[in-house]
Amino acid sequence: MNDFITGIDFILGGARSGKSVIAEQRARASGKRIVYIATAEARDGEMQNRIAHHRGRRPSHWQTVEEPLHLAQALRAHQSPDHLILVDCLTLWLSNLLCRDDHELFLRQTTDLLDHLHQSQPNVILVSNETGLGVVPLGELSRRFVDEAGWLHQSIAARARRVTLMVAGLPLVLKQSD
């Protein structure tokens, strides 16, 4: 299987499933200049450690853009025929938006992202956590997060050229368009 495709390559999986590793492998295989859009915010020591782990794996020549909220804007700013953009990860971005408790911001940013992906079909690898395989969360915010992630994932999967589910480091290709 060719590691690089043009258009949207969507990689889902649970925590530590290998989704970031395969995304980085596919990015390297593209032969393009890599722009890595990191959505995480270092709000505590544990997240700082996760961010440091991801930074340590990336080649120094990759351009890193930290953008926790305005993802479509960052995609537009860095989209180019000779670039591949790797976004890691959509669920952190979604969490950042939901925690702002600003419904208008949430709607603007999610709509902007989906519109951009639909209209421009950039060369992008999108990484996200699959959250809908577990029990229904108890809290209202947690339930909304799982619902919003599921709807976002469905919308992106419909637009993607390839969708891969990672389980225990193994890729299961759910969709691949030529």
The CATH code of the domain that includes 27 is: 3.40.50.300
Q: In Å, how far from its chain's centre is CA 93?
A: 8
Residue 62 lies in a domain: yes
Q: Which of 19-23, 121-125, 126-130 has the lowest mean pLDDT?
A: 121-125
In a domain, 14, yes or no: yes
| Total structural domains within the chain | 1
Model pLDDT for residues 47-75, shown as the tens digit of each residue: 788 878 878 888 899 999 999 999 999 99
Domain membership of residue 169 (yes or no) is yes
Cβ-Cβ contacts under 8 Å for 108 (sequence gap 6 or more):
none
Domain annotation covers residue 3: no
Domain annotation covers residue 2: no
Strands 33-38 and 8-13: unpaired
Q: Which residues are catalytic?
A: 54
55 DSSP 8-state letter? H
Q: Is 113 among the domain residues?
A: yes
* 75 belongs to a structural domain: yes
Residue 41: give the domain boundaries.
8-176
Q: What confidence score (pLDDT) does residue 137 get?
A: 82
- Among 109-113, 120-124, 170-174, the minimum mean pLDDT is found in 120-124
Q: Classify residue 79: in a domain, yes or no.
A: yes
